[in-house]
Amino acid sequence: MILPKRLQAGDTIGVIAPASPPNLENLDQAILFLENLGLQAKVAPNVSKTYGYLAGTDEERLSDFHQMFADPSISGIICAGGGYGTGRIVSSIDFDLINNNPKIFWGYSDITYLHTAIRQKAGLVTFHGPMLCSDVGKETFDEESKKMFRQLFQPETLDYTEEFSPLQTISSGKAEGEIVGGNLSLLVNTLGSAYELDTKGKLLLIEDIGEEPYRIDSFLSQLKLAGKLDEAAGVIVGDFSGSEPKKRDQSLTLEQVLDYYFSGLNKPVLSGFKIGHCLPHFAVPLGTKATLSSETKTLTIEPGVL
């Protein structure tokens, strides 16, 4: 895997919106946050455009994406927001361009599709972390989440312990492997495509938002039938906010669903990680090696930058 270079004071961050139109009212505050980190921001030409539920046409969003990777003055790329749309442009991405111009790429949610494709086609480590308009620019953005950007400025081993949030063991064990994954529904969308998620020997991270237990059940069923759960070395269960069923008396709980799919895997599966659509948001590199242990209830992740 290729590690991108660390950021330094004065570096420029490229801002793109490869999925849905972002909340631009939050962008100024997000840019101020970057400036307080000692960085500059360059907003891609089409970030403010709207094409239905997309932030511009496929061609416009793809152009911004390619432009920021090709621009030698850009040291890192942070997505303005998620939503929907990255799967529409992935087949047109120039992965050789990314491989020849590796740099920090940061986002989550719908950006999961890009994380998976970039890692598997270009071999670049990317970052699953809070985005500028949907997270950073809001008044609710918290100090713990802000601290996660420090990992971009120096190689830093991340240690997730129960000091950050309580963790629950669904299946016991200890395993090492590259972290892969992200938003569960987007991972399922890759199945059967040229960008199908590879979990063999990997630590699989899953998270989602606004999906009731029966929907999460269907996603996990599809991953199971595709062999992705059996192939994984372990599973990191992130945040599933908004997963409460509308009809509680006619639903399984999220815990029951997770137990059904993971308790018998005979490999480490821990839940409760504040990774995903939540605050605080523990940002993690994808593609670096990590160790997950049920005995110590820890996740230790190798640095994501050089």
Which residues are the active-site residues?
109, 207, 277
Distances, alpha carbon 295 to alpha carbons 166, 171, 174, 239, 301, in Å: 14, 11, 8, 21, 17
Cα–Cα distance, 6 to 8 (Å, whole number): 7
Residue 258: enclosing H or E segment and its boundaries? helix 254-262
CA distance 301 to 156: 9
List all residues 6 or more positions away from 265 whose beta carbon is below 8 Å from its beta carbon: 171, 229, 230, 235
Which phi-psi region, left, alpha or beta, contains residue 150 (left: φ > 0; alpha: ψ -120 to 50)?
Answer: alpha
Helix (H) / strand (E) containing 240: strand 234-241
Q: Encoding tokens for residue 191?
A: 């199945």
Cβ contact 164:147 at 8 Å: no
Q: Which amino acid is at 245?
A: P
Residues 176-206 as b/e (b if ≥16 CB within 10 A, e otherwise) read: ebbbbbbbbbbbbbbeeeebebbbeebbbbb
Residue 258 structure tokens: 């997770």
12-16 and 74-79 beta bridge pairing: parallel
